[in-house]
């Protein structure tokens, strides 16, 4: 585990999950099979989609679900839990089923990222940690993907560990940023644990430690001649930083025949300084020297300075990525959508609100994505009841559930079911892919989205349709339950 090994993460739950669970136990519901969906209501930063992440940590958590004797003693000390319930917890294990979209999948509001089918107490107790994993890593992966797309193919490194909200936020945030498309991180332990390539150059303290900037640069390049990137803005970027870098490259690297090197800027007008630095480097014959920049960057700043003609090869993005500063809450929720009766039939459940956005889609469902056979692009997502099967050999008419007058005819498409089985009867039936594979899958899947959906501002709304059967069930539940 990334966090302190002494912690039992089964206890990382909201206290009301324990009190509700005792209530289920006392009222004969502990073995009642329930269905919960994990979904979000709004894309971060007003974007057109999000990136699902955090599944691997959920898998590890589910496999280790248990209450230690000291956990039972703590709960006994609260003096509100019965001995019968505590005995039940002492033997607690997960025996249910979980389906999820693979990490790296682009996802849209109100569609199930994860579905849990399990006895009521089991399903209730895992809510907090599942949401914690999905909300954090999906948020960072989504932000990272926006930053990477703004960089237009240039290298992006995650540089935010020192500004993250805690150790796990730094470590797992680097993992999520890599899924979203970042090339690496400054966080060494994320490389050690996950293989997210860790790299970096130097801090201003290195330059200040020496009597002169030239001496600092020369000492560094002599130590790391094949990885020589110099921070040139400690004193004056154009008057001393870049000239001293060129001087050291000429003295140390040129005799060795090394042409690979770099400079980094962490302050100032990035457009102006990188343009001037690029000309100075090229005029000195260091045309392969790469220019890296950092300093409170995000997708909008990167987009703007590139439009202004900045000469940049790599971006180090820190606090605004690792904290998703512009919108630091993903907003994923965990809602009951169905229960099983004694005869095995599935009874849909709905949550109704005067806030239309909080009305849930009921029932045990399937999630499909339709891809155009002629373009390979994603056309729409389709939610249907679990026993429905999409026939993609026939044309279909779909509509936007938020604006039923918006209809769209779908033809010449292939339907792909997005959720895959993760746990069956409490046993893991899924092999978590290698992180490089997840990252590659993410970038490939984002490429299936139309550019209009990928706009940072005012993206085209992507259709997430309900089948007619599911819509009718939802409408009947709305009518039936609105007066309760």
DSSP-based three-state secondary structure for 184:
strand
Predicted local distance difference test score (pLDDT) of residue 405 = 54
Residue 268 has pLDDT above 90, yes or no: yes
Residue 150 has pLDDT above 90, yes or no: yes
Residues 316-363 have pLDDT tens digits of 999 999 999 999 999 999 999 999 998 999 999 999 988 888 999 999
Dihedral, 183, 185, 188, 191 alpha carbons, nearest 10: -30
Predicted local distance difference test score (pLDDT) of residue 356 = 86
Residue 2 has pLDDT above 50, yes or no: no
Q: Which domains does the chain have, with CATH numbers?
A: 9-140+328-481 (3.20.140.10)
Percent of the chain with pLDDT over 70: 97
Predicted local distance difference test score (pLDDT) of residue 415 = 95
Q: How far apart are CA 388 and CA 348, in angstroms?
A: 15
Percent of the chain with pLDDT over 90: 91
Residue 148 has pLDDT above 90, yes or no: yes
* Strands laid side by side in the 365-372 sheet: 413-417, 365-372, 378-385, 464-466
Q: What is the mean pLDDT of residues 423-448?
A: 98
Residue 79 has pLDDT above 60, yes or no: yes
- pLDDT band for position 1 (50/70/90)? very low
Q: What is the mean pLDDT of residues 213-222?
A: 98
Residue 5 has pLDDT above 80, yes or no: no
DSSP letters along 124-173, please? HHTHHHHHHHHHHHHHHHHHHHHHHHHTTTSEEEE--GGGSSSHHHHHHH
- What value does the mean pLDDT of the chain take? 94
DSSP letters along 413-445, please? EEEEE--EEEEETTEE--PPPPHHHHHHHHHHH
> Is residue 148 a contact partner of residue 182, using CB atoms and an 8 Å limit?
yes
The total number of residues shown for the chain amounts to 484
Predicted local distance difference test score (pLDDT) of residue 483 = 65
- pLDDT band for position 395 (50/70/90)? confident
Residue 482 has pLDDT above 80, yes or no: no
**Secondary structure tally for the chain: helices H, strands E:** 16, 21
Rounded alpha-carbon distances, angstroms, from residue 287 to 161, 237, 281, 290, 472: 32, 18, 6, 8, 64
Q: What is the mean pLDDT of residues 363-382?
A: 96
The strand ranges marked E within 275-349 are 290-293, 314-317, 332-340, 346-348
- Ramachandran class of 45: left when φ > 0, alpha when ψ lies in -120 to 50, beta otherwise: left
Q: Give the 3-state DSSP-derived string for 41-107, with helices as H, strands as E and coil as C.
A: CCCHHHCCCEECCCHHHHHHHHHCCCCCHHHHHHHHHCCCCCHHHHHHHHCCCCCCEEEECCCCCEE
Residues 21-76 have pLDDT tens digits of 999 999 999 999 999 999 999 999 999 999 999 999 999 999 999 999 999 999 99
Residues near 479 by beta carbon (within 8 Å), at least 6 away in sequence: none
């Amino acid at each position: 585990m990334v966090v302190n090994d002494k912690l039992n993460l089964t206890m990382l739950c909201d206290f009301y999950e324990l009190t509700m669970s005792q209530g289920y136990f006392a009222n004969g519901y502990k073995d009642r099979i329930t269905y919960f969906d994990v979904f979000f209501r709004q894309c971060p930063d007003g974007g057109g989609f999000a990136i699902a992440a955090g599944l691997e940590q959920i898998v590890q958590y589910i496999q280790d679900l248990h209450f230690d004797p000291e956990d039972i003693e703590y709960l006994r000390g609260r003096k509100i839990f019965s001995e019968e319930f505590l005995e039940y917890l002492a033997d607690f294990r997960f025996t249910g089923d979980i389906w999820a979209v693979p990490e790296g999948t682009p996802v849209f509001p109100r569609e199930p990222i994860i579905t849990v089918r399990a006895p009521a107490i089991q399903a209730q107790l895992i809510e907090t940690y599942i949401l914690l994993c999905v909300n954090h890593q999906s948020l960072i992966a989504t932000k990272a993907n926006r930053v990477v797309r703004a960089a237009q193919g240039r290298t992006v490194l995650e540089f935010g560990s020192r500004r993250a909200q805690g150790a796990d936020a730094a470590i797992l945030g680097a993992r999520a940023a890599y899924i979203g498309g970042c090339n690496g991180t400054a966080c060494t332990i994320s490389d050690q644990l996950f293989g997210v390539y860790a790299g970096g150059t130097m801090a201003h303290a290195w330059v200040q430690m020496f009597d002169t900037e030239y001496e600092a640069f020369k000492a560094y390049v002599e130590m790391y001649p094949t990885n020589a990137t110099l921070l040139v803005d400690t004193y004056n970027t154009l008057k001393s930083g870049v000239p001293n870098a060129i001087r050291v490259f000429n003295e140390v690297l040129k005799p060795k025949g090394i042409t690979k090197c770099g400079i980094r800027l962490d302050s100032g007008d990035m457009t102006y300084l990188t343009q001037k630095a690029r000309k100075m480097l090229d005029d000195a014959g260091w045309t392969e020297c790469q220019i890296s920049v950092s300093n409170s960057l995000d997708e909008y700043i990167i987009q703007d300075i590139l439009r202004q003609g900045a000469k940049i090869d790599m971006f180090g993005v820190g606090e605004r990525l690792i904290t998703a500063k512009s919108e630091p809450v993903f907003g994923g929720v965990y809602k009951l959508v169905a229960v099983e009766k004694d005869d095995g039939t599935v009874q849909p459940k709905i949550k109704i609100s005067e806030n239309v956005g909080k009305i849930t889609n009921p029932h045990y469902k399937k999630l499909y994505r339709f891809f155009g056979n002629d373009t390979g692009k994603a056309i729409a997502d389709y939610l249907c009841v679990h026993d429905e099967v999409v026939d993609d050999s026939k044309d279909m008419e779909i509509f936007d559930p938020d604006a039923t007058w918006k209809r769209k005819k779908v033809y010449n498409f292939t339907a792909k079911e997005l959720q895959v089985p993760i746990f069956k009867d409490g046993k893991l039936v899924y092999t978590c892919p290698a992180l490089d594979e997840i990252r590659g899958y993410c970038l490939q899947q984002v490429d299936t989205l139309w550019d209009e959906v990928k706009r940072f501002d005012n993206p085209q709304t992507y259709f997430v349709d309900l089948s007619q059967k599911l819509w009718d069930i939802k409408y009947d539940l709305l009518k039936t339950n609105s007066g309760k």
